[in-house]
Amino acid sequence: MSKIRNHNNVIRYLNTDLDIESNQPFNKLVQCFKKMQLIEMHYCKNESGKIWSGCFEIEMISPKSPELTPELTISKFIKTLNGLSGEELKEWNRCKKKTFNIGYDCGKKPWAFTNSLPSPLIEKLNKHGLGIAITIYPERRKK
């Protein structure tokens, strides 16, 4: 997730990560993602040494942009996934975990905060075998 922290005590969307895991390396997929301008947060074997893990983000236009939403970010990822073919697609299909992790900074305002994902986008997630996770980052006190 983004390293930008919430200093205004406002609930806000940060970013969406694409987290994937496989029993086999997926080097071609990583190369393809880089060509499509996804940011590789990490790509390595996990602690057990048996599972390959990767985390990718889409570069944000501006972290304070009001139009930045999970729907927009996930739609950009889906466009990338729709372009997969050949070996990259085979590696994608071998991945056993494919999750969009939507991140938020928590705060005290506004009283209610909502983001939604429309049903056509949910259908696209299902087509690619993607799940959804939500991470809420707590307020951090300044030292």
In the numeric block, which tokens belong to residue 138?
């707590």
* Type and span of the H or E element at 105: strand 97-105
For the cut 50, the answer to whether the pLDDT of residue 3 exceeds it is no
Give me the mean pLDDT over the 40-61 stretch.
89
What is the identity of the amino acid at 79?
A: K
Distance of CA 35 to the CA centre of its chain: 17
d(CA 95, CA 25): 9
* pLDDT tens, residue by residue, 94-116: 999 999 999 988 888 788 888 88
Count CB atoms within 10 A of the CB of residue 91.
21
| pLDDT attached to residue 60 | 67
- Name the strands in the sheet holding 97-105, side by side, starting at the edge strand that comes first in the sequence: 38-45, 52-58, 12-22, 97-105, 131-137
Which pLDDT does position 82 carry in this prediction? 95
In the prediction, which pLDDT does 66 show?
59
Amino acid code (one letter) for 129: G
